[in-house]
Amino acid sequence: MRKIAAFIKVFLFLMATLTIYVVYAVPYIFIRLFRLHFEPWRNKCLRFWGKYSTAVLGLKITVEGTPPKPPFFVVSNHLSYLDIPVFFSIIDTTFVSKSEVKHWPVIGIMARTLGILFVNRSLRRDVTRVNREISEQLNDRQGVVLFPEGMTSPGEKILRFRPSLLEHAASENLNVSYAAIRYETAPDDIPAYKSVCWWGSTPLHTHLFGVAMTKKVEVTVRFGSDTIQSNDRKELAQKLQENVERIFIPVVEDLDEKFEPAKF
* Nearby residues of 36 by Cβ (< 8 Å), 6 or more positions away: none
Per-residue b or e along 169-189, where b marks 16 or more CB atoms closer than 10 Å to that residue's CB:
bbeeebebbbbbbbbbbeeeb
193-222 residue pLDDT tens: 999 999 988 899 999 999 999 999 999 999
Report if residue 260 sits inside a domain.
Answer: no
Given a contact cutoff of 8 angstroms between Cβ atoms, the answer to whether 222 and 250 are in contact is no
Within a domain: residue 184? yes
- As a whole number, mean pLDDT of residues 214-236 equals 96
- The region of weakest confidence among 33-47, 51-65, 103-117, 159-173 is 103-117
Domain holding 58, by residue range, is 2-247
Q: Which of 69-83, 99-113, 118-132 has the highest mean pLDDT?
A: 69-83
Whether residue 101 is contained in a domain is answered as yes
pLDDT at 121: 66
Strands 93-98 and 117-119: parallel
Please check whether residue 91 lies inside any domain of the structure. Answer: yes
pTM beyond 0.85: the answer is: yes
Q: Tell me the pLDDT of the chain averaged across its residues.
A: 91
pLDDT in tens, 28-86: 999 999 999 999 999 999 999 999 999 999 999 999 999 999 999 999 999 999 999 99
Q: Work out whether the CA dihedral 82, 137, 141, 65 comes out positive or negative.
A: positive
Top pLDDT among 133 and 7 is at 7
- Write down the pLDDT at residue 262: 59
Closest CA to 59 of 211, 172, 204, 200: 211
Q: Identify the pLDDT of residue 168.
A: 85
> What is the per-residue pLDDT for 133?
81
Residue 69 lies in a domain: yes
Confidence (pLDDT) at 254: 81
- Any domain includes 181: yes
Quick one: average pLDDT of 94-98?
Answer: 85
What are the backbone dihedrals phi and psi of residue 204, each rounded to the nearest 5 degrees, phi first?
-60, -45
**Alpha helices for the chain (secondary structure H):** 2-33, 39-56, 83-88, 107-113, 124-137, 167-171, 192-195, 204-213, 233-247
Number of folded domains that form the chain: 1
CATH code for the domain in which residue 142 is found: 3.40.1130
264: confidence class by pLDDT, cuts 50, 70, 90: very low
